[in-house]
Amino acid sequence: MKIAFIGLGNMGGGMAANLVKAGHEVQAFDLSPDALAKAAENGCTTFTAVPDAVAGVDAVVTMLPNGGIVKAVYTADVIGKAPAGALFLDCSTIDLATAREVAELAVAAGYEMVDAPVSGGIAAANGGTLTFMVGGDDAAFEKAKAVLDPMAKAVIHAGEIGAGQVAKMCNNMLLAVHMIGTCEALALAEKAGLDPQKFYEISSKSTGYCWSLNDYTPAPGVGAASPADNDYAGGFASALMLKDLRLAMAGAGTAGAAVPLGEHATKIYEQFVEAGNGGKDFGAIFTTL
């Protein structure tokens, strides 16, 4: 297939390279000349304008920072410029309202579109082991799956358009809450006189088990290897977790859902990021306790 890829940053760069490896012809665009140069090294054909990159393609994949940018790129330079009937896949994490609005505009203009946000970080993007949660109708999902498979460990049909973003915001709100809870429990164990490693051994096999404790233990030198063992460098930045929590809070507002722990987690990450810790892995909340 001929696929346009727009947004070749930390995530998109590796994803586009995996499409090339799978034998697709990838037409790449990014505002950053460095990102474009790297994409060229990885076998993409590069363009300096979006309408040129989407000319003649079967599908357009976007991996961009936020909903405002996604909407601007699609409305100004993709809708009406890509060939009629092309499939659009937005893999960015964005707000639900924008995801639905852009898809409606695309469908009204004769295209198919899915929202397909991902779980997994830069290593999974490079390794082709992302989990995609896809919103769109059955026909669009089947076509999207063929595009996403080379970048994926799993491609899951979440439901109608927007359902992928709903899954993503709910998953990451849950992740934030259990990460903070894990940090609190580890700190409490230690302060109350229990070796945190012993606590890990017990709770990871008891009803307290969860991904944050079992697989990504946020206390240095305890339990599973994680960025905590490297002064919280790398991993999933607290600023990105805050972005996802804010999207979840906006989504909860629109849906009229009560999310008291989600709200509290958002405040905790807000304070942490405002104190200058946005680049630290999200498990670094442990250091505040």
Q: Is residue 93 within the footprint of ligand NAD (CB under 6 A)?
A: yes
Q: Is residue 78 within the footprint of ligand NAD (CB under 6 A)?
A: no
Tokens of 172: 């990451």
Region from 2-10, 82-90, 142-150, 157-165 binding ligand NAD, contact rule CB under 6 A: 2-10
Q: What is the Cα Rg of the chain in Å?
A: 20
Q: Is residue 140 within the footprint of ligand NAD (CB under 6 A)?
A: no
Shortest CB 143 distance to ligand NAD, Å: 22
Q: Is residue 64 within the footprint of ligand NAD (CB under 6 A)?
A: yes
Four-residue CA torsion sign, 135, 140, 144, 146: positive
Q: How far apart are CA 219 and CA 231, in angstroms?
A: 10
Output the CA angle 131-259-177, nearest 5 degrees: 55
What H or E segment, with its residue span, contains residue 79? none
Catalytic choice (81, 168, 243, 280): 168
SS (H, E, C) 117-182: CEECCHHHHHHCCEEEEEECCHHHHHHHHHHHHHHEEEEEEEECCCHHHHHHHHHHHHHHHHHHHH
Q: Which of 22, 97, 105, 122 binds ligand NAD (CB under 6 A)?
A: 122
Shortest CB 249 distance to ligand NAD, Å: 15
The reply to whether 267 belongs to the active site is no
DSSP letter, residue 75: I
Q: Which of 1, 55, 69, 261 binds ligand NAD (CB under 6 A)?
A: 69
- Terminal-residue alpha carbon distance, the chain: 51
Q: Which of 89, 113, 114, 118 binds ligand NAD (CB under 6 A)?
A: 118
Q: Which is nearer to ligand NAD, 167 or 185 (CB)?
A: 167
Q: How far apart are CA 248 and CA 170, in angstroms?
A: 7
Shortest CB 280 distance to ligand NAD, Å: 14
Q: Is residue 115 within the footprint of ligand NAD (CB under 6 A)?
A: no
Shortest CB 237 distance to ligand NAD, Å: 7
| Chain residue whose CB lies nearest ligand NAD | 9
Q: How far apart are CA 197 and CA 192, in angstroms?
A: 14
Q: Is residue 99 within the footprint of ligand NAD (CB under 6 A)?
A: no
DSSP letter, residue 57: -
Residue from 85, 73, 68 nearest 30 by CA? 73
Q: How far apart are CA 4 and CA 60, in angstroms?
A: 5
Shortest CB 60 distance to ligand NAD, Å: 12
Q: Which of 4, 7, 158, 216 binds ligand NAD (CB under 6 A)?
A: 7
Region from 17-25, 102-110, 116-124, 204-212 binding ligand NAD, contact rule CB under 6 A: 116-124
- Give the active site residues: 168
By CB under 6 A, name the binding residues for ligand NAD.
6-12, 29-32, 35, 63-65, 69, 73, 92-93, 118, 121-122, 236, 240, 243
